A and B are shown apart, each in its own frame.
Chain A
Amino acid sequence: MSAETSKKKPLSEEERRALAEKLDKDIDNFIEELAKKKNDEPKEEKPFNFDEWCKELDQHPAFMKELKPNENGEYPESIQALQALKYDTEGEDAVETAQSHKDEGNKHFKYKKYRWAIDCYTNGIKCFAPDRELNSILYANRAASHKFLGNLRTALRDCIFALKFNPCNYKAFLRGAECLVEMDYPKQALEWIETRVEPIQNFQETEFLTKLATLKEKARQDAVKQDRDMRREKLLASKDRAKKERLLNALKERRLCFKPKVVFEDVEDFEWSQLEVQIPHLKERPIVYLNDSNELVWPLLIQYPESGQTDFLTDCSENSIITELVSQVLENPAEWDPTHRFNLENVRFFLSIDVFDEEQVIEIDSNQTLKSALVSKDFVIAHGLPVIQIYTKKHAEKSFIPIENTSRFCVAK
């Protein structure tokens, strides 16, 4: 029973009092009747069941923790009602639905839930609402979400769509340029700005203008830096190429042979790694080089096949005599050579060569220069590292059979 308030006729003091009394009496009667009704109908008192009470509570939308359909695939009634209220597009305008998706997306965006926001905006886009500005905003907002997630390319793509729907969307315009700058495409950013700024020419809001000016300046500077870096790369590359050419020419001049084969004419395809020496326990990769006096300087491996040992030398100038190079090494006995068998007076020097199926060696004179040793016929430098074998005189006598008229020897079986 509700009190009717009709203010059409002003009541007199008496009339008002009479009305008030009547209303009070009506209320009292009503309540009494209700109470009577209750007492007249005996009801069974249900015992309070906590579990059921919880379950009922869980069915209430305000307290629901999970959304699961029951056996019939239906959601609780209250949920269904709410869903109908929100998503039912039957008879509703696509624009309205899209807008509600947009609004929901914006809410998620505010709380930095970018992936949820993207889903909402995508749903809004899928409505295909016939509203250009709305679609532009949907794409632009999705672009912003992607940008915050770091998906710059996707964000850029969405900016393009946003501007297609509305070329005046200054946010999409700015954001697209920002994406390009962050992706390290400053020139493309400047081009983007130049080609798309016209519809936005008249937008004079200071914040936008400042942002645009700052962005343009950054893009310009980045472009200058990029150009400088390209010029530097070009210069370094040409210097490197010149260095390669010098070395290859020097190697060609001396008629050296390498395995794997080095084509001296092919400067473009030559890689330093073809001649770099890779030794397992050595961090650096020594390589032959030309010094200031135009001499080749080599890394060198000395093998002692008798004892299975090696010595590794670097910076051996081609014009040095073999004796010079090894004297320091042979001066003091190595740990594996306690009796100092390997000393200058007691050794001979050989180069291993591969001829047909035989194992052969060439003896080199200790007074030869490294340069002349390296060009010995059939001698091949493997993987940029020339190898000289040192044998004790006694062992050499045993192991090698001289080949007539040459300084070559066959290895005895």
Chain B
Amino acid sequence: MEDFHIENALYVLFTNSLADHDVILTIFVNITAISSSFAGRLIERDNILPTCFQLAQKNVVGAAKLLANISRHFPARMKIELDKLWEKYIDFCIDGLPKADDTECSDYLGYIVVNLTTIPGIRTEVAAQHLHKLLPLTSCDVPLKRRLIAVDILRNLSFDDELHPRLLDPADEFLTAILAPLADEADELDDEEIQNLPLGLQYWDKKRDANEIIRGRIVETLYQLCATKIGRTVLRSKGIYPLLRELDKATSQSKMENGALKLLNQEHTLHALIGILIRHEDDMEVPKDLDSIRRLK
């Protein structure tokens, strides 16, 4: 049973005393971490979200954390409020990501964007206007948290079939950015395989991303791109398969060496992805007029 008395008291405190914001925010954050109904009630209140928006812009971590939690539960409702009250919030949140100042606040603002990209309209906007800010963040030089945020956003974009043509445009920027963490200088590719790759990935001279989660998310992204015909066509034509082959070789080997438990899901996705890319389109028996195999029953 919810104790509304305490809740109401907290609301009053929040509204009236600026000094105690940090404490109350922490309380809200902790509750919203587990209770979506509480998050919902926070949205209903007139002054909670607007205040948080302002505080977040001033680098108050608690506010950013709270917004991140709420946006996880109710991204659409949050978007409505954001559109009303915070102009260019996407710009603000994404612009904070490349900053090297390591503020926690920017991390949580990033999580807000990740949560919001579950909404189609947001995805379209991010793909249209903010890609060039996000793509450099997949590089290994970028701190882990920011890298993960960027990869998560890009992964969410790939769920949107209509964005595939935009993401897979001939400039190859998106493709290069998400494949770079998978490529390794030790990959054994013959000259022809190298020539087929996008320019930015040829003769790769860095090591692959050490973080398994990031690599796994990227493999999922590629897998999502295979839902559409254009996705499959581009991925096949850009000679991605050899990179994945080398990735599989390297990662399954290290798993065996470390004696770690296999992350079955990840390997499964990688193998499924490789399976799709190896085949010719004709072999896949996809009806020609089907634009996305997501629609297959």
Q: Decide if A231 touches B202 in the complex (CB within 8 Å).
A: yes
B204 close to chain A: CB less than 8 A:
yes
A217 touching B171 in the complex, CB below 8 Å, given contacts A234-B205, A235-B205: yes
Q: Decide if A228 touches B171 in the complex (CB within 8 Å).
A: no
A285 close to chain B: CB less than 8 A:
no
- Within 191-232 of A, Cβ neighbours of B (below 8 Å) are at 217, 220-221, 224-225, 227-228, 231-232
- The smallest C-beta distance from A240 to any residue of chain B, in angstroms, reads 14
B250 close to chain A: CB less than 8 A:
no
- The smallest C-beta distance from A232 to any residue of chain B, in angstroms, reads 5
Which B residues are within 8 Å of any A CB, using their own CB? 171, 199-200, 202-205
Q: Out of A217, A228, A234, A235, which one reaches B200, CB within 8 Å?
A: A228
- The smallest C-beta distance from B185 to any residue of chain A, in angstroms, reads 9
- Nearest to B206 among chain A residues (CB) is A231
Q: Mark A50-77, 1 if CB is under 8 A from B, else 0.
A: 0000000000000000000000000000
Secondary structure of the A side of the interface?
Answer: helix
- Nearest to A238 among chain B residues (CB) is B205
Q: Out of B171, B199, B204, B205, which one reaches A225, CB within 8 Å?
A: B199
Q: Decide if A228 touches B205 in the complex (CB within 8 Å).
A: no
Question: B200 contacts which chain A residues (CB < 8 A)?
Answer: 224, 227-228
* Distance of A235 Cα from B186 Cα, bound (Å): 11
* Distance of A227 Cα from B201 Cα, bound (Å): 10
* Distance of A235 Cα from B188 Cα, bound (Å): 13
Question: B171 contacts which chain A residues (CB < 8 A)?
Answer: 217, 220-221
Q: What are the nearest 10 A-B pairs in CB distance?
A: A231-B203, A232-B203, A228-B202, A224-B199, A228-B199, A224-B200, A231-B205, A235-B203, A225-B199, A228-B203
Which A residues are within 8 Å of any B CB, using their own CB? 217, 220-221, 224-225, 227-228, 231-232, 234-235
Q: Decide if B199 touches A231 in the complex (CB within 8 Å).
A: no
Subset of 18 A-B contacts with CB under 8 Å:
A217-B171, A220-B171, A221-B171, A221-B199, A225-B199, A227-B200, A228-B200, A228-B202, A228-B203, A231-B202, A231-B203, A231-B204, A231-B205, A232-B202, A232-B203, A234-B203, A234-B205, A235-B205
Question: B204 contacts which chain A residues (CB < 8 A)?
Answer: 231
- The smallest C-beta distance from A394 to any residue of chain B, in angstroms, reads 57
- Nearest to B173 among chain A residues (CB) is A220
- Nearest to B194 among chain A residues (CB) is A232
- The smallest C-beta distance from B95 to any residue of chain A, in angstroms, reads 16
* Distance of A231 Cα from B201 Cα, bound (Å): 10
Question: A234 contacts which chain B residues (CB < 8 A)?
Answer: 203, 205
- The smallest C-beta distance from A164 to any residue of chain B, in angstroms, reads 30
**Which of B171, B204, B205 has its CB near the most chain A CB atoms (within 10 A)?**
B205
- The smallest C-beta distance from A156 to any residue of chain B, in angstroms, reads 26
- Nearest to A235 among chain B residues (CB) is B203
Question: A235 contacts which chain B residues (CB < 8 A)?
Answer: 203, 205
- The smallest C-beta distance from B253 to any residue of chain A, in angstroms, reads 23
**Besides A220-B171, A231-B202, 9 other A-B contacts (C-beta < 8 A):** A221-B171, A224-B199, A224-B200, A227-B200, A228-B200, A231-B205, A234-B203, A235-B203, A235-B205
* Distance of A217 Cα from B132 Cα, bound (Å): 13
Question: A221 contacts which chain B residues (CB < 8 A)?
Answer: 171, 199
- The smallest C-beta distance from A100 to any residue of chain B, in angstroms, reads 47
**Which of A221, A231, A234 has its CB near the most chain B CB atoms (within 10 A)?**
A231
* Distance of A273 Cα from B183 Cα, bound (Å): 36
Question: A227 contacts which chain B residues (CB < 8 A)?
Answer: 200
- The smallest C-beta distance from B92 to any residue of chain A, in angstroms, reads 20
* Distance of A227 Cα from B205 Cα, bound (Å): 11
* Distance of A225 Cα from B204 Cα, bound (Å): 13
* Distance of A225 Cα from B171 Cα, bound (Å): 12
- The smallest C-beta distance from B98 to any residue of chain A, in angstroms, reads 15
Question: B205 contacts which chain A residues (CB < 8 A)?
Answer: 231, 234-235
* Distance of A231 Cα from B200 Cα, bound (Å): 10
* Distance of A228 Cα from B194 Cα, bound (Å): 11
- The smallest C-beta distance from A225 to any residue of chain B, in angstroms, reads 6
- Nearest to B172 among chain A residues (CB) is A224
* Distance of A232 Cα from B191 Cα, bound (Å): 11
* Distance of A220 Cα from B170 Cα, bound (Å): 13
- Nearest to A232 among chain B residues (CB) is B203
- The smallest C-beta distance from B193 to any residue of chain A, in angstroms, reads 14
* Distance of A370 Cα from B96 Cα, bound (Å): 70
* Distance of A234 Cα from B202 Cα, bound (Å): 12
- Nearest to A231 among chain B residues (CB) is B203
- Nearest to A233 among chain B residues (CB) is B203
Question: A228 contacts which chain B residues (CB < 8 A)?
Answer: 199-200, 202-203
Question: A224 contacts which chain B residues (CB < 8 A)?
Answer: 199-200
* Distance of A358 Cα from B191 Cα, bound (Å): 55
Question: B199 contacts which chain A residues (CB < 8 A)?
Answer: 221, 224-225, 228
- Nearest to B204 among chain A residues (CB) is A231
**Which of B171, B200, B203 has its CB near the most chain A CB atoms (within 10 A)?**
B203
- Nearest to A226 among chain B residues (CB) is B199
- Nearest to A236 among chain B residues (CB) is B203
- The smallest C-beta distance from A51 to any residue of chain B, in angstroms, reads 75
- Nearest to B198 among chain A residues (CB) is A224
- The smallest C-beta distance from A222 to any residue of chain B, in angstroms, reads 10
**Which of A221, A228, A232 has its CB near the most chain B CB atoms (within 10 A)?**
A228
- Nearest to A229 among chain B residues (CB) is B203
* Distance of A221 Cα from B171 Cα, bound (Å): 8
- Nearest to B201 among chain A residues (CB) is A228
- The smallest C-beta distance from A217 to any residue of chain B, in angstroms, reads 7
Question: A217 contacts which chain B residues (CB < 8 A)?
Answer: 171
- Nearest to A220 among chain B residues (CB) is B171
* Distance of A227 Cα from B176 Cα, bound (Å): 13
* Distance of A228 Cα from B171 Cα, bound (Å): 15
* Distance of A232 Cα from B204 Cα, bound (Å): 9
- The smallest C-beta distance from A186 to any residue of chain B, in angstroms, reads 12
Question: A232 contacts which chain B residues (CB < 8 A)?
Answer: 202-203
- The smallest C-beta distance from A320 to any residue of chain B, in angstroms, reads 32
* Distance of A138 Cα from B203 Cα, bound (Å): 46
* Distance of A228 Cα from B204 Cα, bound (Å): 8
- Nearest to A217 among chain B residues (CB) is B171
* Distance of A220 Cα from B171 Cα, bound (Å): 10
- Nearest to A227 among chain B residues (CB) is B200
- The smallest C-beta distance from A220 to any residue of chain B, in angstroms, reads 8
